[in-house]
Amino acid sequence: MVKPGRVSHAQRDVLLKKHSEATEILCRRLERLKDDDLEGFLVKHPAIGRVTLREMALLTQLHTEHHTGLLKAKLSGTAAEEL
């Protein structure tokens, strides 16, 4: 398991901007693909093995939303678990 180190307040905005830019690039590239490509290309997920590109994109979206929710809860002081 990878556990990131602490991020300073100054680094936070830079990291959020990089994440947003990377997400935009990924979305634009995925939008250019056909359904057959999304279902036909297999990629290796480190925990669950081979998945289609569509499944990997959806897993990535869910994973990102999960961690975004944890960060929001932590920043608001309502986090139930440690990151």
In this prediction, residue 83 carries a pLDDT of 46
Instruction: For 20-45, write each residue's pLDDT tens digit.
Output: 899 899 999 999 999 999 999 999 98
Helices and strands (H and E) in the chain: how many? 3, 2
Percent of the chain residues topping a pLDDT of 90: 41
User: pLDDT category, 2, cuts 50, 70, 90?
Assistant: low
Q: What is the mean pLDDT of the chain?
A: 85
Distance CA 36, CA 12 (A): 38
pTM above the 0.85 mark? no
Tokens for 80, please give them: 């139930």
Specify the DSSP class assigned to residue 74: H
**Residue 55 and residue 46: Cα distance in Å, rounded?**
13
Query: Binning pLDDT at 50, 70 and 90, where does residue 81 land?
Result: low
